Amino acid sequence: MRFSAAGEIRLLPSGSRVRAAGIVTGRQRPSTASGTVFVTLEDETGYVNVIVWPHLIESQRRELLGARLMGVEGVLEREGEVMHLVARRLTDHSALLGRLATPSRDFH
């Protein structure tokens, strides 16, 4: 399992295929986003904003809603300083955390 740290991802160009992992610190599903969910992952080097489109939500609902430690494979999109990882696959690595408490701020 090789994941890039948030600090490394910040240096990559748009269109890069990326594997990131981090503690889920927030999930948002704004009513204005047509069913899209936005996830924030955090590691020791920073954070990564993840976009999860509705088709992936349907097929990976358990990973999206249940993971405390999430892995994401996707494509990096950036415009200036703003960057997002558009998810293509989610994995739940929460078992690696053991009993460590990691609450996220989830907004629906």
Provide the mean pLDDT of the chain: 91
Report, as an integer, the average pLDDT of 53-80: 94
d(CA 63, CA 69): 10
This prediction's pTM? 0.87
Confidence of residue 103 (pLDDT cuts 50, 70, 90): low
90 CA to centre of own chain:
8
d(CA 37, CA 12): 23
Confidence of residue 100 (pLDDT cuts 50, 70, 90): low
H-helix segments, the chain: 6-9, 54-59, 61-66
What confidence tens digit (pLDDT) does each residue in 13-48 have?
999 999 999 999 999 998 888 999 999 999 999 999
Tell me the two tokens of residue 9: 């991802």
